[in-house]
Structure 1
């Protein structure tokens, strides 16, 4: 998407807001919730076909699962926005070498899972169904996948989960919505309408999905890995999570960006799994 395109779309939505604010909010939320990337390429499929495939259903959404069997703890890998289970290829190789039982999923509207839209509350419900089915001991989540995993644990009884690894996780959905609105240049009228839309369809404002509400009761062990120069999710959000996640250690990286794909990160994860 070129730099000018979001501005033009934002101006169109702003203009619509003066006549039909609810419709303007609906369009804005739909754009925010519709991934443009994340489907599996043929190169990616060759690797994913080395796993045992299955699906877990949440309402009318089919969540694709990939299993690489092992004798040790079950580790669930949960990717973020506009990605799919292939993003874990390097970490999966390391986990297989240690004989962990590895489970990865495609999020709604990503990879080979169904649905056309994606949001954190929906993702959390899908994750809870996967956890109830496979009973993983550890969840490793990247970006919004990490946050959705914590929301799932707060909203559902998921006693099998003993450890969480949070990679570049956002601490507050309201910040993500604000960043999106700023990027699109949306006016105050549309922003208020977006809040009203979330309240109507998700029963909560975006600000409800924050570290204060979803980490304070979580008693699992955790590590929070976040890059100081992350341009997608600010390092300040990692500090916010650390304040509320009492059993977690914060590990700061430098120069890895939001993706956090590096041997150093993987070694932190492997050491944490052995504790």
Structure 2
């Protein structure tokens, strides 16, 4: 069991050229290093769609939707034919079909599923993105395709749901899986991974805040959690090498109506295909529904 997180961490190795460039910039100009780090921080990696997602991708009704607040287009997937709709939100460097196993279970039970490639992800436009863009997309899709019965979000998608509900997204209940918590912790982990000083991360954060005129800490999950009144199921794996399980515990502690499910041996992504996780999620979202 102890070897699994090590394997996961190994897969996240940063190219040496990026580390060398960052350290060089840090030595000559902290401001340039912070801008370089910010560009990396906001640029997702586009992965090939795996075979297990092909059926959902091909069977879905797809359309490019213009997100007015962002002036960007995102690819939207509508799967299933039911009257009640479940929103699925992928995480950083993910895709709208990544939560396919959840989509299949809900569709079989008579629900419709709506998911999307976040800005700069999958087939959507743009090269960079950040959590407020995930949130703006969610609100635009609620306006155009809602209301949503419930929602499931993975990683940054879970953080985005917490913050969207805090800001007025209407849901009966929702589920987060492998979601991060404190924004500064996320920045520290990122700067550590690319070999930069944490002071560079703080400078990067200040640059973001000056540009967007709001404190990044306002997007920390625990802050959103304490303002949410609907039931939330928080799922996380003990062996998640990308997001520590302590994040889930802290989020759960700040929810008024929270349920915590902890798993082992599934890591950050394998958890999305686990039958027990899918069953628990489905039961939670559909509770009290005929």
Distance in 2 separating the partners of 1:35 and 1:50: 26
CA contact (8 A) 1:169 1:237 kept: yes
Counting only pairs closer than 5 Å after superposition, residues 66-145 of structure 1 correspond to structure 2 as: 66-135=77-146, 136-145=148-157
Indicate yes or no: 2:33 matched with 1:17.
no
CA contact (8 A) 1:80 1:141 kept: yes
Indicate yes or no: 2:162 matched with 1:150.
yes
Residues 4 and 145 of structure 1, relative CA distance in 2, 3 Å threshold:
closer
Distance in 2 separating the partners of 1:163 and 1:250: 14
Distance in 2 separating the partners of 1:221 and 1:43: 31
- Superposition TM-score, scaled by structure 1 size: 0.90
- What RMSD in Å do the two structures reach over aligned CA positions? 2.2
Distance in 2 separating the partners of 1:24 and 1:188: 11
**Runs of 5+ unmatched residues, structure 1:** none
Q: Which residue of structure 2 lines up, in the alignment, with residue 253 of structure 1? A: 263
Residues 4 and 109 of structure 1, relative CA distance in 2, 3 Å threshold:
closer
Distance in 2 separating the partners of 1:253 and 1:3: 25
- Superposition TM-score, scaled by structure 2 size: 0.86
Q: Which moved more, 1:63-72 or 1:164-173?
A: 63-72
Q: Which residue of structure 2 lines up, in the alignment, with residue 211 of structure 1? A: 221
Q: Which residue of structure 2 lines up, in the alignment, with residue 273 of structure 1? A: 285
- Alignment: residue pair count: 272
Distance in 1 separating the partners of 2:31 and 2:200: 8
Q: Secondary structure at the match of 2:41?
A: helix
Q: Secondary structure at the match of 1:87?
A: coil
Distance in 1 separating the partners of 2:216 and 2:114: 29
Q: Secondary structure at the match of 1:86?
A: coil
**Runs of 5+ unmatched residues, structure 2:** 1-10
Deviation of 1:133 after TM superposition, in Å, equals 1.8
Q: Secondary structure at the match of 1:152?
A: helix
CA contact (8 A) 1:65 1:103 kept: yes
Q: Secondary structure at the match of 1:85?
A: coil
Q: Which residue of structure 2 lines up, in the alignment, with residue 49 of structure 1? A: 58
1:244 to 234, 242, 254: 254
Indicate yes or no: 2:242 matched with 1:232.
yes
Distance in 1 separating the partners of 2:106 and 2:144: 21
Q: Which residue of structure 2 lines up, in the alignment, with residue 31 of structure 1? A: 40
Distance in 1 separating the partners of 2:46 and 2:63: 22
Query: 1:119-166: CA deviations, max 9, x gaps?
Result: 1122111112112222212110000011012212223x323x111110
Deviation of 1:202 after TM superposition, in Å, equals 2.7
Residues 150 and 47 of structure 1, relative CA distance in 2, 3 Å threshold:
same
Deviation of 1:38 after TM superposition, in Å, equals 3.4
Distance in 1 separating the partners of 2:52 and 2:222: 41
Q: Which residue of structure 2 lines up, in the alignment, with residue 200 of structure 1? A: 210
Deviation of 1:2 after TM superposition, in Å, equals 8.6
CA contact (8 A) 1:40 1:112 kept: no
